[in-house]
Amino acid sequence: MAKRLSSQKLLKNNVLDAQLCTGCGACVSLCPYQAIYNDRTVQLHYCDLTDGKCHAYCPRTPTDFESLRELLFDTKDLTPEIGAVKAYYLTRAADSEIRSVAQHGGTVTALMELALNEGMIDAAIVSSGNQEYLRYGTVAADKNTLCKNAGVKFTVSPMAAAFNQFTRHEKGNAGVVAAPCQALALAKMKLNQDKNEAKRINQLQFVIGLYCGWALSAEKFSELLAKKYIRMDAIRRMDIPAGKNILELHTANGIREIPLDEAQACTREACNYCIDSTAEYADVSVGAARFAGTTEEQRGWNQLIVRTRKGIELIDLAAKKGFLEIKDAPQESLRDLKKAALEKKKTALANITRKSGSAKNLLYLDNRDVLLRRILGV
Partner 1 sequence: MGNEAIARGALEAGVNVAAAYPGTPSSEVIENLAAVAKERNLYVEWSTNEKVAVEVAAAASFSGLRSMCVMKQNGVNVASDFLLHLTASGTRGGIVLVSCEDPGALSSVNEGESRYFARMLEMPLLEPADFQEAKDLTKWAFELSEKIHNIVMLRSVTRMSHASGNVVCGKLPNKIPQARFVYDGPLTDPLTGPVISTPVGLKHKLQQEKLKTAGKLFEKSPFNKYFGPPKPQFLIVTSSACFLYSREALSMLNLQKRVGILKLGCTWPLPEKLLKKYLRLTKNIMIVEEVLPFMEENIKVLAASYPKEIGVKSFYGKIDGTFPSVGELNPDVVAEALAKIMKVKYKTLPASYAQELRKVAAVIPPRDQTFCPGCPHRASFWNINAALKLDGREGFVCGDIGCYAMAALTPAIGFHTVRTLHSMGSGTGLASGFAKLDMFGFEKPVLSVCGDSTFYHAVIPALINAQHNKADITFIVLDNAGTAMTGFQPHPGLTMSAVGETVPAVDIGKICAAIGAKVEVSDPFDLETTTKKLNALLEEKGNPKVLILKQICALSPEKKGKKQYEVKVNEELCLGEDCGCNRLCTRIFRCPALTWDKAKKKAVVDEVICAGCGFCAAICPQGAIIKKEVVAS
Residue ranges binding partner 1 (CB under 8 A): 30-33, 35, 37-38, 40, 42-49, 52-53, 196
CB of 40 to partner 1, least distance (A): 5
CB of 328 to partner 1, least distance (A): 47
The closest alpha carbon to 107, from 311, 347, 301, 319, belongs to: 301
Cα 324 to Cα 351: distance, rounded to the nearest angstrom: 39
Nearer residue to partner 1 within complex by CB, 46 or 76: 46
CB of 35 to partner 1, least distance (A): 7
Please report the sign of the dihedral spanned by the C-alpha atoms of residue 250, residue 104, residue 278, residue 27: positive
Nearer residue to partner 1 within complex by CB, 49 or 350: 49
- Chain centre to alpha carbon of residue 166: 18
Strand order in the sheet with 324-328: 138-140, 123-126, 174-178, 204-210, 284-288, 302-306, 87-93, 324-328
Nearer residue to partner 1 within complex by CB, 41 or 128: 41
* Neighbouring-strand partners of residue 204: 174
Nearer residue to partner 1 within complex by CB, 48 or 257: 48
Cα 157 to Cα 159: distance, rounded to the nearest angstrom: 6
Nearer residue to partner 1 within complex by CB, 45 or 76: 45
Nearer residue to partner 1 within complex by CB, 135 or 344: 135
CB of 135 to partner 1, least distance (A): 10
CB of 48 to partner 1, least distance (A): 7
Nearer residue to partner 1 within complex by CB, 158 or 175: 158
Cα 165 to Cα 156: distance, rounded to the nearest angstrom: 17
CB of 64 to partner 1, least distance (A): 22
Angle value at C-alpha 125, between 267 and 174, nearest 5 degrees:
140
CB of 42 to partner 1, least distance (A): 5
DSSP string, 206-248: EEEEE--S--B-HHHHHHHHHHTT--GGGEEEEE--TTS-EEE
Cα 107 to Cα 98: distance, rounded to the nearest angstrom: 9
Nearer residue to partner 1 within complex by CB, 32 or 254: 32
Nearer residue to partner 1 within complex by CB, 9 or 40: 40
Cα 99 to Cα 366: distance, rounded to the nearest angstrom: 41
**Is 35 in a helix, a strand, or coil?**
strand
The closest alpha carbon to 146, from 205, 98, 103, belongs to: 98
Nearer residue to partner 1 within complex by CB, 43 or 353: 43
CB of 206 to partner 1, least distance (A): 26
How far lies 196's CA from each of 28, 76, 169, 303, 335, in Å?
Answer: 17, 32, 14, 37, 43
Residue 102's contacts (CB-CB under 8 Å, 6 or more residues apart) are 93, 108, 109, 150, 151
Q: Strand 235-239 and strand 246-251: pairing?
A: antiparallel
CB of 194 to partner 1, least distance (A): 9
Cα 305 to Cα 301: distance, rounded to the nearest angstrom: 13
CB of 32 to partner 1, least distance (A): 4
Q: Strand 123-126 and strand 138-140: pairing?
A: antiparallel
